[in-house]
Amino acid sequence: MKLYYSDASPYARVVRMLWRALEVTGMEEEAINPFSQDRALRSANPLGKLPCLICEEGALYDSSVILRYLDEHFGQGRFFAPLRGRWALERDNALLQGLLDAAVALRVEETRQQEGSRSAFWSERHGQTLSQGLAQLEPEHWPESGLLSFKLIALLEYLDFRHPHIDWRAGQPQLLQWLTQQNGSLISATRPR
């Protein structure tokens, strides 16, 4: 199997963390610039988006599809099992996915500034979504590992990487404390550079 990914993509990072947590061997990772119109990626994934997994079933794209595939084939469903029938966890999963989407969309708006087409409305809206969503995430405690933890790590470190002007650390001290306790090779090996 082969995973096309971008080092900066928080979606790909969640896939890469799960991949390592499942200790799947024989995986190949190829970093691709998502804006380069890479021929191999485009032939596998007509959307041209990352991540994209090449496996026995062909090309799988969208991180949620890849995560479910990896968990079903290599994790016996243990990463998605805690969400089934637990609507608060499903809600938190959706919230984290939406916050990842908002963080990436805000980054896209910031890159448009150089072109003179940045939307102040959408920048403000994405920033507000992040602020309100992070406030809702301020937990009593978060699990030590699992899918939601992977998404939360990817989100918080993506904010540090791409949005250092968003001072989430001051507003969410419990999240900061939780993040500082997270370590291990699957986190450090997938951290954006």
Average pLDDT for 39-67: 95
What are the b/e assignments for 128-144, b being 16+ CB within 10 Å?
A: ebbeebbeebeeeebee
Check residue 144 and give its pLDDT: 63
The strand pairing partners of 2, in sequence order, are 28, 54
Provide the domain count of the chain: 2
In this prediction the pTM is 0.93
Residues 100 and 64 occupy one common structural domain = no
Average pLDDT for 68-84: 93
Residues 147 and 103 occupy one common structural domain = yes
Residues 184 and 89 occupy one common structural domain = yes
153: three-class secondary structure by DSSP: helix
Name the H helices within 85-146: 87-112, 120-137
C-alpha 6/C-alpha 30 separation (Å) is: 8
Check residue 138 and give its pLDDT: 67
Decide if 147 is inside a domain. yes
Residues 111 and 173 occupy one common structural domain = yes
Check residue 140 and give its pLDDT: 59
Residues 39 and 101 occupy one common structural domain = no
C-alpha 32/C-alpha 49 separation (Å) is: 10
Q: Report the chain's mean pLDDT, rounded to a whole number.
A: 92
Sequence-distant (≥ 6) Cβ neighbours of residue 126 within 8 angstroms: 102, 103, 105, 106, 109
Domain that includes residue 34, residue range: 2-74
82: pLDDT strictly greater than 90: no
